[in-house]
Amino acid sequence: MTKIGVDLIQKLRNMTGLGMMDCKKALVETEGDVEKAVDLLRKKGAAVAAKRGDKETKAGLVYAYIHPGSQVGVMVEINCETDFVARTEDVQELAKDLCMHIAAIKPLYLEPSDMDPKFLEHEKEIFTDQLKEAGKPEGVIAKILVGKVQKLYKDVCLIEQPFVKNDKLTVAQKVEEVIGKVGEKIKIKKFARFEVGL
């Protein structure tokens, strides 16, 4: 068995924000491979999220953030199963990080299903016209269009966007990571972004 040192455990803890025991278990399981341990912990977070998927989220918090200079402000509502979890440092930090992400990246919608159908159709028309002008055949256009719509989701839908503090994760995966830490379902309910002059 590989001996797992405190330095390695601390390194994984700094990378994931999880507890020392969780990090040690993951490192033992992956024989000291930090990258594999990160993947293992992320999978466990996703598994907890899947198990708790049908739980009701009637507790939570509203977090407000004003960006330095007072030109941009964000409010986000996060729901979870209990008030206790809503008050934890992990959920508070997630709320703050989401607000900073929304301030910087400017998502228009929470998730693809929230997207305005007229906006989506308009974007598809533009993509189709661009592809026709580029001389792409009809059959190919439909396939390329699927990829372009997926990229559009990543550009304008909060949960699909690469997370501003770690672009290896989407916002949805970041939420799953926190679910894995706190052991409760967490859901971003809604957000609002305000900017002076817009």
Do domains 6-51 and 59-110+157-195 share one topology? The answer is no
Question: Chain centroid to CA 45: how far?
Answer: 13
> What pLDDT sits at residue 138?
82
Q: What is the pTM of this model?
A: 0.69
Superfamily of domain 59-110+157-195: Elongation factor Ts, dimerisation domain (3.30.479.20)
What CATH number labels 6-51? 1.10.8.10
- The tens-digit pLDDT sequence of the chain (198 residues) is 557 777 877 777 776 666 677 777 888 888 888 888 877 777 776 555 555 556 666 788 999 999 999 999 999 999 988 888 888 999 999 999 999 999 999 999 999 999 889 999 999 899 888 888 888 888 888 888 888 899 999 999 999 999 999 989 999 999 988 988 888 889 999 999 999 987
> What pLDDT sits at residue 162?
94
> What pLDDT sits at residue 194?
95
Q: Domains of the chain: which residue ranges?
A: 6-51, 59-110+157-195, 116-155
